[in-house]
Amino acid sequence: MRRKLVAANWKMHGSRDANRALLAAVAASLPGSCDVVVFPPFPYLAELIAAHAGIGFGGQDVSAHAAGAYTGEVAASMLRDIGCGYVLVGHSERRQYHHEDDALICAKLERALEQGITPILCVGETLDQRRQGVTEAIITAQLHAPLQALGERIARIAIAYEPVWAIGTGHTASAAQAQAAHAFIRSQLAARDAKLSRMIRVLYGGSVKAANASDLFAQPDIDGGLVGGASLVAEEFLAICAAAR
Ligand code: PEP
């Protein structure tokens, strides 16, 4: 049985005071029925980790390099150093605005795993791609390089299916659409190793909110959510966590 995981991607939102208050409100009422991971902006990570034992934390990004003269980058070893257990890799906003490709994404996965950090690999199609009926081909392509590069170590990652058309748009995939994509992802993993496919957590991301979380999380292949906008409102995020059991 896979324990559900709910991840809060705060993106580039908030301030020191606002983020402290948001996390304090979340931490005070977490239901305990699922794992919770928060991805704050980098400057606030260490302070929030120090103040909140018992919640998981992660970086929104990680360098593809282990160390060195890479201005502005954050190494996986640094994330581990301050207590991060997770990192987002291949988020569609990184693919789109920072032109991240498969090779870069694989290098980031490698750096995270070297440090014992669980990467959450994000995959998903654009609206155009869905309309063209190539959703499965896109997911297959996005999984191909990581599956090749990581081999058996793929068991140490989590995956987030995030249809790009549902991220920040208010258009959630229906529970049936999401389940179909998740079942497809699991079938791709099963083609490698049936046992492995049953172990890996596959999260859904894309306008998850309190009103749709229960339906989504009731699907057999949906193991929790990667939540953007709704994670910035404590009551909304707590209701999503409560739906994950
Ligand atoms: C995300 O950015 O990963 C995300 C799912 O955002 P939202 O929940 O706002 O759609």
Q: Using one digit for the tens of pLDDT, what is the confidence trace for 113-124?
A: 999 999 999 999
Distance 69 CA to ligand 1 centre (A): 32
Ligand 1 test: best mutation among 39, 165, 167, most atoms within 8 Å of CB?
167
Residue 8 CB neighbours (<10 A)? 27
Backbone angles phi, psi at 224, to 5 degrees: 130, -165
Which of the four pLDDT bands, split at 50, 70 and 90, describes residue 1?
confident
Q: Which residues are catalytic?
A: 91, 162
Distance 231 CA to ligand 1 centre (A): 9
Which of the four pLDDT bands, split at 50, 70 and 90, describes residue 245?
very high
Which of the four pLDDT bands, split at 50, 70 and 90, describes residue 67?
very high
Please state the atom number of ligand 1 nearest to the C-alpha of residue 207. Answer: 10
pLDDT tens digits for range 173-195:
999 999 999 999 999 999 999 99
Kindly list the domain boundaries of the chain, sorted by start residue: 5-243
Which of the four pLDDT bands, split at 50, 70 and 90, describes residue 4?
very high
Q: What is the mean pLDDT of residues 140-162?
A: 96
Give me the pLDDT at residue 54, please.
84
Residues 6 or more apart whose Cβ sits within 8 Å of residue 157: 109, 113, 118, 119, 120, 121, 146, 150, 200
pLDDT tens digits for range 162-173:
999 999 888 889
**CATH number among 3.40.220.10, 3.30.450.20, 2.70.98.90, 3.20.20.70, domain 5-243:** 3.20.20.70
Residues in contact with ligand 1 (CB, 6 Å cut-off) = 9, 162, 167-168, 205-208, 226-230
